[in-house]
């Protein structure tokens, strides 16, 4: 399709074309109406002037006779911008006056000429008169016919002028519209071209591409933005999926290898008691694998948002209290003190099981890593803060170095010092995924000014209470 053809198919151009047509129709109507009205008004005024003069002339004839009338008409005809005066004989031949020629038969009937008529002046060169006038014919008692008229050149000029103005204006408008069409249409086309270009790249597999935005916030930008948000989500899901398969390939192979080695060793071992112990180890190892596997699946399911369907108003304070109660004896066994300051009655929209798992992970982490710390306190607090609910779990363990805080949230990332502790390396990843699903956030900081201790801060948007 030709470039112009494509251009004409854009909505902007179609709309402006329609607009132009409608507007032109209105303008034409308006101009005709205005000129018509003013013409009629001018003719009215002309007729009135003629009528007055005709009355005067009749009056002069009655008082001063034919001679007085002739003198008066001569005087009047000489004045600049004079009206038209014709004195004709009974058969219509022109005897005197300032008109060179008239349409035949014009002087036959007394009264107003029915239409504006054409006449010829003495100054005109051609024989057909091209001046237009309006006149009244008087029939005197001696058979003379007097025509009193006025040229209509002025109103005629006015009409021509207005029509010219209209043509010029319409011309400018049309041109302007064309230019604007072209501008808008081309601009729109160019942006759409850029968008389809980007989509083609995305379809080719480059999910990091984004649709261009102009920054003007118009409908194209809004469309691009929501499509970009969608792309972001797809990219994230895709990455998650890829990461899961990478993780399965990499991080699950290690424990599987260990499992296999243990089984092999047990098989090779001759002692029955040894075998039993090995089998128990194998079961333990498998359980750990299953646990890792479940955690991985749970994270990707949470990230995919499929658990969103099971969201309802949940008693966050209650869940936190349950978790604290659940882990409190464990803390005690590790010579730690789990202290909770929880504002009661906080409700958020969420999934009870997932939040429970997330909070469990946090408290479990705190207990695991704070064991043996100088300050045995693990503090759990939650309160409403404006439109948010802020939940903190703070321990005084070794903490996480600042440069590793973003890292430890990632899947299977564990600090070297913590590798000896049991765990899947997925605890915080799950917490983060759960927080994201609840439109909340997770951040890590140090509990003590010297950088020791870990404080995990969760922010939930407050639900209805």
Partner 1 sequence: MVTRMKILIVEDDIEAAAYLAKAFREAGIVSDHASDGESGLFMASENAYDVLVVDRMLPRRDGLSLITELRRRGIHTPVLILSALGQVDDRVTGLRAGGDDYLPKPYAFSELLARVEVLGRRKGMPDQDMVYRVGDLELDRLSHSVRRQGKEIPLQPREFRLLEYLMKNAGQVVTRTMLLENVWDYHFDPQTNVIDVHVSRLRSKIEKDFDPPLLRTVRGAGYMIKDDRTADA
Contact residue for partner 1 among 48, 110, 280, 406 (CB under 8 A): 280
DSSP state of 453: S
Of 322, 339, 436, 443, which lies in the binding site for partner 1, with binding defined by CB under 8 A? 322
Stretch that binds partner 1, among 151-159, 231-239, 280-288, 435-443 (CB under 8 A): 280-288
Residue with smaller CB distance to partner 1, 198 or 299: 299
CA 390 to chain centre: 35
H/E stretch holding 313 = strand 312-315
CA–CA gap between residue 15 and residue 447 (Å, rounded): 63
The reply on whether position 427 binds partner 1 by CB under 8 A is yes
Coil vs helix vs strand at 464: coil
CB atoms within 10 A of CB 81: 7
Q: Is 429 in the site for partner 1 (CB under 8 A)?
A: no
Q: Among 336, 342, 292, 281, which residue's Cα sits nearest to residue 316?
A: 342
Site for partner 1 in 109-128 (CB under 8 A): none
Q: How far is the CB of 329 from partner 1 (least distance, A)?
A: 4
Q: Does 384 bind partner 1 (CB under 8 A)?
A: no
Q: Which is nearer to partner 1, 367 or 435 (CB)?
A: 367
Does 290 contact partner 1 by CB under 8 A? Answer: yes
**Residue closer to partner 1, measured from CB, 45 or 286:** 286
Q: Per rule CB under 8 A, is residue 301 in the interface with partner 1?
A: yes
Q: Is 283 in the site for partner 1 (CB under 8 A)?
A: yes
Q: Residue 283 in 3-state DSSP?
A: helix
Element (H or E) spanning 460, and its range?
A: strand 454-461
- Tell me the closest approach of the beta carbon of residue 340 to partner 1, in angstroms: 15
* Residue 310 makes contact with partner 1 by CB under 8 A: yes
Select the span of 101-109, 151-159, 185-193, 295-303 touching partner 1 (CB under 8 A): 295-303
Please give the structure tokens belonging to residue 129: 């008169």
H/E stretch holding 153 reads helix 153-203
| Cβ distance to partner 1 smaller for residue 176 or 329 | 329
Residue 404 is given by DSSP the state: G
Interface with partner 1, residue 313, by CB under 8 A: no
* DSSP assignment string, 210-276: -----SS-SHHHHHHHHHHHHHHHHHHHHHHHHHHHHHHHHHTHHHHHHHHHHHHHHHH---HHHHH
Of 422, 449, 450, 464, the residue at the interface with partner 1 (CB under 8 A) is 422
Closer by beta carbon to partner 1, 210 or else 368: 368
Which residues is 132 bridged to in the sheet?
118
Question: Hey, which residues between 342 and 371 contact partner 1 (CB under 8 A)?
Answer: 351-354, 356-357, 360-361, 364, 367-368
Closest CA relative to residue 456, chosen from 437, 434, 386: 434
Binding of partner 1 by 295 (CB under 8 A): yes
Taking the C-alpha atoms of residue 37 and residue 35, their distance in angstroms, rounded to an integer, is: 5
Q: Cβ closer to partner 1: 354 or 456?
A: 354
Return the biggest CA–CA distance within the chain: 162
> Which residues in this chain contact partner 1 in the complex, by CB under 8 A?
280, 283, 286-287, 290-291, 294-295, 297-298, 301, 306-307, 309-310, 322, 325-327, 329-330, 333, 351-354, 356-357, 360-361, 364, 367-368, 422-423, 427
């Amino acid at each position: 399709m030709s470039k112009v053809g494509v251009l004409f198919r854009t909505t902007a151009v179609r709309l402006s074309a329609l607009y132009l047509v409608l507007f032109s129709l209105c303008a034409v109507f308006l101009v005709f109406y205005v000129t018509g009205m003013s013409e009629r008004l001018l003719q009215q005024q002309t007729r009135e002037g003629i009528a007055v003069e005709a009355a005067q002339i009749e009056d002069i004839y009655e008082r001063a006779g034919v001679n007085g009338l002739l003198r008066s008409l001569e005087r009047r005809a000489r004045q600049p911008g004079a009206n038209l005066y014709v004195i004709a004989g009974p058969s219509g031949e022109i005897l005197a006056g300032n008109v060179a020629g008239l349409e035949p038969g014009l002087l036959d009937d007394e009264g107003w000429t029915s239409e504006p008529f054409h006449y010829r002046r003495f100054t005109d060169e051609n024989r057909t008169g091209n001046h237009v006038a309006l006149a009244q014919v008087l029939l005197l008692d001696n058979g003379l016919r007097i025509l009193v008229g006025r040229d209509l050149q002025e109103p005629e000029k006015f009409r021509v002028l207005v029509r010219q103005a209209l043509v010029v204006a319409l011309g400018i408008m049309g041109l302007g519209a064309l230019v604007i069409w072209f501008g808008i249409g081309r601009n729109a086309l160019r942006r759409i071209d850029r968008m389809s270009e980007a989509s083609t790249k995305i379809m080719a597999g480059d999910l990091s591409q984004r649709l261009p935005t102009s920054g003007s916030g118009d409908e194209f930008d809004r469309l691009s933005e929501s499509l970009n948000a969608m792309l972001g989500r797809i990219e994230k899901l895709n990455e998650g999926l890829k990461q899961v398969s990478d993780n399965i390939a990499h991080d699950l192979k290690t424990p599987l290898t260990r499992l296999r080695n243990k089984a092999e060793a047990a098989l090779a071992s001759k002692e029955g008691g040894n075998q039993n112990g090995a089998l128990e180890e194998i079961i333990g190892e498998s359980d750990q694998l299953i646990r890792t596997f479940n955690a991985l699946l749970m994270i990707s399911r949470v990230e995919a948002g499929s658990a969103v369907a099971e969201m309802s108003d949940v008693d966050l304070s209650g869940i936190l209290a349950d978790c604290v109660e659940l882990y409190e004896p464990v803390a005690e066994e590790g010579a730690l003190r789990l202290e909770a300051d929880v504002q009661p009655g906080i409700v958020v929209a969420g999934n009870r099981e997932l939040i429970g798992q997330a909070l469990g992970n946090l408290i479990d982490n705190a207990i695991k890593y704070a064991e043996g710390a100088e300050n045995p306190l693990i503090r759990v607090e939650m309160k409403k803060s404006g439109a948010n609910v802020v939940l903190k779990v703070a321990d005084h363990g070794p903490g996480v170095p600042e440069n590793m805080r973003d890292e430890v949230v990632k899947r299977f990332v564990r600090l070297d010092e913590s590798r000896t502790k049991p765990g899947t390396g997925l605890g915080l990843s799950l917490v983060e995924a759960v927080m994201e699903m609840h439109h909340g956030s997770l951040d890590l900081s140090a509990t003590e000014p010297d950088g020791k201790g870990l404080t995990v801060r969760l922010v939930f948007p407050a639900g209805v209470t």
